[in-house]
């Protein structure tokens, strides 16, 4: 009897075959390659780096916001301190009936009226300076020596261009309508001074007594109007709660020219 040679092929059970197939074919396909693994690691690292960058950015913004808030607080404190200091040094005080100084309460209406006061006071100061200069020439006239009248007359005439310059400015200033009368008063003083200068200069050049007497009339008028203007401004200063010493100090002297004209009159009579 012949015996058949047994097949040397290895036989596997179903379980063993499946395990072998998986190990040889399926597992290698599912396992990530080294490149893919490295790329994945890099992606994960980049992700965490980005998170760190975001955290740093948030910290930077927070620090910047805290810094801005601190700066704003400092600015507000400085502004408040400056306001207090300015308030202390700029507060006006007035003297009450018993001689005590007390702070003045200023409202918006008074601030607006102060603008009119300052403009009118400026005109007062200009007029006062002009009168000072005229008084100097008048004193020269009272002390005149023979042959000096012509030189003195030219000095009167020299002030006229200044009147021509400041009078249009006085007319152009804008004040509250209820103070227009004070503005007109200043304009009238300028005009009276100009007439006095013209007539006084002419009387000395022409040796004319009539013109001289007319000049004295205009001199009395501008002195009187100037004094009324000054007193009105003092009352105005009380309304706007300002103590202005320029209205009471350094006033021009008022003196007469009539009693000192004997020599001048004799010269005219001789003619």
The whole-angstrom separation of Cα 262 and Cα 129 is 29
Lowest-pLDDT range, 36-40, 56-60, 63-67, 122-126?
A: 36-40
**What sign does the CA torsion over 42, 47, 48, 49 have?**
positive
The whole-angstrom separation of Cα 206 and Cα 212 is 10
Give whichever of 5-9, 139-143, 177-181 has the largest mean pLDDT.
Answer: 177-181
Percent of the chain at pLDDT > 70 equals: 58
What average pLDDT does this structure show over 140-156? 85
Give whichever of 2-16, 81-95, 257-271 has the largest mean pLDDT.
Answer: 81-95
pLDDT for 259 equals 47
pLDDT for 94 equals 57
Instruction: Tell whether the model's pLDDT for residue 143 goes beyond 60.
Output: yes
What average pLDDT does this structure show over 153-179? 95
SS (H, E, C) the chain: CCCCCCCCCCCCCHHHHHHHHHHHHHHHHHCCCHHHHHHHHHHHHHHHHHHHHHHHHHHHHHHHHHHHHHHHHHHHHHHHHHHHHHHHHHCCEEECCCCCEEECCCCHHHHHHHHHHHHHHHHHHHHHHHHHHHHHHHHHHHCCCCCCHHHHHHHHHHHHHHHHHHHHHHHHCCCCHHHHHHHHHHHHHHHHHHHHHHHHHHHHHHCCHHHHHHHHHHHHHHHHHHHHHHHHHHHHHHHCCCCCHHHCCCCCCCCCCHHHCHHHHHHHHHC
CB 122 within 8 Å of CB 172:
no
Q: Please give the structure tokens belonging to residue 130.
A: 């002009």
How distant is the alpha carbon of residue 43 from its chain centre?
64
pLDDT for 271 equals 40
Count of CB atoms situated within 10 Å of the CB of 144: 16
Per-residue pLDDT tens for 213-239? 999 999 999 999 999 999 999 999 999
Instruction: Tell whether the model's pLDDT for residue 138 goes beyond 90.
Output: yes
Q: Is the overall model pTM greater than 0.85, yes or no?
A: no
The mean pLDDT value of the chain amounts to 77
Count of CB atoms situated within 10 Å of the CB of 183: 20
The whole-angstrom separation of Cα 107 and Cα 175 is 18
pLDDT for 248 equals 92
- Which distant-in-sequence residues (6+ apart) come within 8 Å of 193 by Cβ? 127, 130, 131, 134, 159, 163, 218, 222
Per-residue pLDDT tens for 12-54? 455 555 566 555 655 555 555 555 655 665 666 565 556 666 5
pLDDT category at 69 given cuts 50, 70, 90 is: confident
Per-residue pLDDT tens for 89-137? 555 555 555 555 555 555 667 888 899 999 999 999 999 999 999 999 9
pLDDT category at 76 given cuts 50, 70, 90 is: confident
pLDDT for 260 equals 47
pLDDT for 16 equals 55
């Amino acid at each position: 009897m012949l015996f058949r040679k047994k097949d040397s092929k290895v036989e596997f059970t179903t379980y063993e075959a499946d395990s072998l197939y998986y190990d040889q074919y399926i597992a290698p396909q599912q396992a990530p390659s080294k490149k893919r693994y490295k790329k994945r690691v890099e992606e994960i690292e980049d992700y965490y780096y980005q998170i760190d960058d975001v955290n740093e950015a948030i910290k930077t913004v927070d620090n910047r916001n805290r810094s801005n808030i601190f700066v704003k607080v400092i600015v507000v404190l400085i502004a408040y301190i400056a306001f207090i200091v300015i308030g202390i040094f700029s507060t006006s005080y007035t003297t009450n009936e018993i001689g005590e100084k007390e702070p003045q309460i200023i409202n918006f209406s008074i601030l607006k009226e102060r603008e009119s006061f300052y403009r009118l006071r400026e005109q007062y100061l200009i007029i006062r300076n002009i009168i000072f200069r005229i008084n100097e020439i008048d004193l020269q006239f009272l002390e005149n020596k023979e042959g000096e009248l012509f030189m003195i007359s030219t000095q009167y005439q020299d002030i006229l261009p200044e009147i021509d310059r400041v009078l249009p400015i006085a007319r152009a200033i804008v004040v509250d309508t209820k103070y227009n009368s004070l503005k007109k008063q200043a304009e009238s003083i300028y005009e009276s001074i100009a007439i006095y200068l013209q007539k006084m200069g002419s009387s000395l050049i022409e040796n004319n007594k009539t013109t001289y007497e007319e000049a004295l009339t205009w001199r009395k008028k501008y002195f009187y109007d100037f004094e009324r203007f000054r007193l009105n401004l003092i009352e105005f200063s009380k309304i706007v709660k300002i103590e202005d010493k320029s209205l009471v100090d350094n006033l021009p002297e008022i003196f007469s020219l009539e009693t000192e004209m004997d020599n001048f009159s004799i010269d005219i009579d001789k003619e």
